[in-house]
């Protein structure tokens, strides 16, 4: 009984966070979903592409249930990191549709197998795993990238949260300007305090 509960609990959370990742693209133009927003090139559509490829592998070949479509290689020597960004020939619709097809394939694996079903991850130091391990891993990874997407989207138009219900900041611009100023003052004051503290200051 507890195994069924644990599997459904993890699976439910995974379904929700997948949708949150896709929602981060809503309402944005082609340039904004593709352009690099960090010094290492992190971008919104690339995160979706990356998650598609890796979820397909973890719930596919790890359990000898390979995803039935060809996918770009994550380790292509001619295009390192190619799973993290979309080319001009890859459309938003294609990548989103792929992710949703991966969900269907993954969901069937999760539904069909018991939570202690064995799998094999050849690129892990301890390759023998159970479905439980992979559920936790993919939920963690998807949540981590959803957090990345949240920050990227906030940079673009100040939208935050996991659904449209929470997209608009609940405070006005003046509130957030004051909040940032307060945090900035605290950061500077902390540095000043540390700069003036002696090596044996026990109040820190």
Q: Is the pLDDT of residue 37 over 60?
A: yes
**Model's pTM, two decimal places?**
0.88
Indicate left, alpha or beta for 62 from its phi (over 0: left) and psi (-120 to 50: alpha): alpha
The counts of H helices and E strands in the chain are 6, 2
Nearest to 15 by CA among 154, 111, 91: 111
| Mean pLDDT computed over every residue of the chain | 90
Task: At 39, list the tokens.
Answer: 């010094």
| C-alpha distance across the termini of the chain, in Å | 50
How far is Cα 109 from Cα 103, in angstroms, rounded to an integer? 10
How far is Cα 113 from Cα 4, in angstroms, rounded to an integer? 11
More reliable by pLDDT, 198 or 9:
9
Digit-coded pLDDT (tens) for 95-136: 999 999 999 999 999 999 999 999 999 999 999 999 999 999
pLDDT mean over 155-160? 89
How far is Cα 46 from Cα 43, in angstroms, rounded to an integer? 5
Nearest to 101 by CA among 65, 30, 53, 139: 53
Locus of tokens 């003036």? 196
Task: At 194, list the tokens.
Answer: 């540390």
Digit-coded pLDDT (tens) for 163-192: 766 666 667 888 878 988 999 999 999 998
pLDDT mean over 47-51? 97
Torsion sign across C-alpha atoms 86, 87, 92, 97: negative
Q: Is the pLDDT of residue 202 over 60?
A: no
What would you report as the CA-atom Rg of the chain, rounded to the nearest whole angstrom? Answer: 21
pLDDT of residue 192: 87
């Amino acid at each position: 009984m507890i195994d069924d509960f644990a599997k459904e609990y993890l699976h439910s959370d995974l379904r929700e966070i997948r949708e949150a990742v896709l929602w981060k693209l809503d309402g944005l133009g082609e340039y904004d979903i593709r352009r690099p927003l960090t010094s290492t090139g992190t971008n919104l559509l690339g995160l979706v592409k990356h998650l598609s490829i890796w979820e397909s592998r973890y719930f596919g070949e790890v359990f000898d249930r390979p995803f039935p479509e060809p996918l770009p290689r994550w380790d292509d020597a001619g295009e390192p990191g190619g799973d993290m960004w979309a080319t001009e020939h890859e459309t938003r619709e294609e990548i989103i549709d792929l992710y949703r097809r991966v969900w269907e394939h993954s969901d069937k694996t999760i539904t069909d197998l018991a939570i202690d079903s064995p799998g094999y991850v050849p690129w892990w130091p301890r390759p023998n795993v159970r479905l439980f391990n992979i559920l936790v891993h993919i939920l963690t990874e998807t949540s981590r990238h959803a957090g990345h997407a949240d920050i990227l989207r906030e940079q673009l138009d100040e939208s935050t949260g996991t659904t449209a219900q929470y997209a608009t900041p609940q405070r006005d611009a003046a509130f957030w300007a004051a909040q940032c100023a307060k945090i900035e003052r605290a950061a500077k004051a902390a540095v000043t305090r540390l700069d003036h503290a002696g090596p044996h200051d026990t109040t820190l």
